[in-house]
Amino acid sequence: MNFKITSSFLLLFVSSFFFSQNITFVSETTGHPIPKVSVFDKDGKILGFSDINGKIEKSVLKPESEKFQLIYDNLLLAVLSYEEIAKDVVKLDNRTREIEAIVIKKNKPAKYLFIKGNFNAYVTVNNLLNCYVDGIATYVFDNKTRKVKNIHIQQYRIYRLESATNEKKETESWDYNSFLELPKMKNVGNYEDYQSKRFKIKELKTTFKDEIEITGEALQEKELALLGYRFYDSRSILNLSFEKDSEKMLRDFTEYNEIYFLKLKHKSEADFNNIIVYKNFYPTELDYGDKDNILDVKYNRNQSNYSNQYWQEKSFPNMQSIFSSFFKDDLKEKQNSK
């Protein structure tokens, strides 16, 4: 009897210890988990990104960081001390701005479905920003297959760190601007295609929208050697958001987030570098048409290309203002071609 009591006590203690290794961000108004919260330290490193259950690992936080900035929906949500954030549950006011309604220009079905919106993408190396791009783009979907047929970039601006180099054997110092691409959104209209053993799917219903998290991984047990480089621990997280209680069709689509993780090093380097690529798209307009004749600009990573200051719009996901507060003059915009 005593053995059973002792065993139960130990199991309870171990379980409590295990679960306390996570921090859960929840809305103070609804109690729902808050996914997609980025945690920055005082030096601008992105330490964590909450999953669909609002969780990040406590171990990523260091007391010496003093202050942690929490970014949600591309805006500063809170600045917390270590004592305030290192709890099992952290309640946050996530009512940062009203959700912008998507403008439906035409209701008549046609050959193509056009979804115009705002995007941003950025790369971090060992949690520090390496390069950044944002802009306006239109995705062209085949209205029957719901597959992406084309992507048109209308405007964009691109930022890169002045200190980045491309020394062959020093992957930590590389300029990773080649990773700055728009999300492909291959199966956003057919997310059920991800239902296989290769991916894990979780769903969350909140007060305002339905969220879906899709995760996959590769190179978990053995690294890949190629041309003198080593690749390891490849993972991806896709977050799709739809109108609340909708059929989750393309016309219900409200947000797309993609995070790709990779560990990389040259064979001469002692340690792997953590490369993380973030890609985000936020629809603003939906239209139908039989011709794909949308005007666009050529995407050149060595220059910006815009005709107006689109990032000053209230609803635009301007992460550049967050990053510039840390990197100041080292984060340089490439000259506008206009």
Beta bridge partners of 288: 113
Query: In degrees rounded to 5, what are phi and psi of residue 133?
Result: -145, 150
Give me the sign of the Cα torsion angle 318, 57, 265, 181: negative
Residue 162: per-residue pLDDT: 78
Residue 16 — very low, low, confident or very high, per pLDDT cuts 50/70/90? very low
Give the end of a domain, one of 57, 92, 127: 92
Identify whether residues 72 and 135 lie together within a single domain: no
Residue 15: per-residue pLDDT: 43
Q: Does the residue 97 lie in any domain? A: no
Residue 220: per-residue pLDDT: 77
The pLDDT tens digits of the residues spanning 74-85 come to 888 899 999 899
Structural contact between residues 140 and 114, judged by C-beta atoms closer than 8 angstroms? yes
The pLDDT tens digits of the residues spanning 167-214 come to 888 888 889 999 999 988 888 888 777 777 778 889 888 878 899 999
Identify whether residues 142 and 274 lie together within a single domain: yes
144-148, 211-215, 219-223: least confident range: 219-223
Q: Does the residue 42 lie in any domain? A: yes
Residue 281: per-residue pLDDT: 96
Owning domain of residue 205: 103-333
Residue 261: per-residue pLDDT: 93
Structural contact between residues 263 and 274, judged by C-beta atoms closer than 8 angstroms? yes
Residue 148: per-residue pLDDT: 93
Identify whether residues 82 and 207 lie together within a single domain: no
Q: Is the pLDDT of residue 150 over 90?
A: yes
Distance in angstroms (rounded) separating the CA atoms of residues 174 and 165 = 5
Q: Does the residue 338 lie in any domain? A: no
Residue 100: per-residue pLDDT: 62
**Inter-CA distances, 112 with 182, 238, 297, 322, 327, Å:** 20, 24, 20, 36, 42
The pLDDT tens digits of the residues spanning 59-68 come to 888 887 778 9
- How many residues are there in the chain? 338
Residue 13 — very low, low, confident or very high, per pLDDT cuts 50/70/90? very low
Beta bridge partners of 200: 215
Give me the sign of the Cα torsion angle 69, 70, 74, 77: negative
Identify whether residues 168 and 252 lie together within a single domain: yes
Higher pLDDT, 283 or 327: 283
Distance in angstroms (rounded) separating the CA atoms of residues 140 and 205 = 28
Helix (H, G, I), strand (E, B) or coil at 310: helix
Please, which residues have CB within 8 angstroms of residue 40's CB and are 6 or more apart in sequence?
46, 47, 68, 69, 70, 71, 322, 326
Give the end of a domain, one of 70, 92, 114: 92
Residue 55: per-residue pLDDT: 92
Residue 75: per-residue pLDDT: 85
Quick one: tokens of 201? 């799917």
Count of structural domains within the chain: 2
Residue 135: per-residue pLDDT: 97
Mean pLDDT of the chain: 85
Q: Does the residue 40 lie in any domain? A: yes
Dihedral Cα 125, 127, 130, 132, nearest 10 deg: 130
Q: Is the pLDDT of residue 7 over 80?
A: no
Return the beta strands (E) in 228-272 as ranges: 229-243, 253-266
Identify whether residues 216 and 277 lie together within a single domain: yes
Structural contact between residues 136 and 151, judged by C-beta atoms closer than 8 angstroms? no
- Number of Cβ within 10 Å of residue 183's Cβ equals 22
- Our separate counts of H helices and E strands in the chain read 3, 18
Enter the pTM of the model: 0.87
Residue 97: per-residue pLDDT: 52
43-47, 240-244, 329-333: least confident range: 329-333
**Inter-CA distances, 98 with 282, 315, 318, Å:** 14, 9, 16
Residue 19: per-residue pLDDT: 46
Q: Is the pLDDT of residue 25 over 60?
A: yes
119-128, 142-151, 196-205, 242-251: least confident range: 196-205
8-22, 161-175, 229-243: least confident range: 8-22
